Amino acid sequence: MTNAVLAPAARPLRIPLREILPWAVFAGLLLLLAIYFVGAEEGATSLIAGMAVHEFVHDGRHLLGFPCH
């Protein structure tokens, strides 16, 4: 006969909010910056002169439904 050994039940890992919050804020700021460059970096609200950013994100604008021409 073999001896059966029961494995302990797996418990979910708890991550404190203090460790998640800075990363969530950082990700949120990156998302807002990306939305700005894809959706509004053109014309009067442009932070960078020229059309380089617009041309770089042009297909993304159409994919996300932002009008650009």
Report pLDDT digits (tens) over 1-33: 567 777 778 888 888 888 999 999 999 999 999
Spell out a b/e string for 51-64, using b for 16 or more CB atoms within 10 Å of the CB, else e: eebbeebbeebeee
Per-chain mean pLDDT for the chain:
82
Q: Does residue 29 sit within a domain?
A: yes
Q: Please give the share of the chain, as a percent, with pLDDT higher than 90.
A: 19
Q: Does residue 12 sit within a domain?
A: no
Q: Does residue 36 sit within a domain?
A: yes
Q: How many structural domains does the chain have?
A: 1
Q: Does residue 6 sit within a domain?
A: no
Residue range(s) defining the domain that contains residue 22: 17-64
| Per-residue pLDDT at 24 | 95
Spell out a b/e string for 13-23, using b for 16 or more CB atoms within 10 Å of the CB, else e: eeeeeeeeeee
Q: Does residue 3 sit within a domain?
A: no
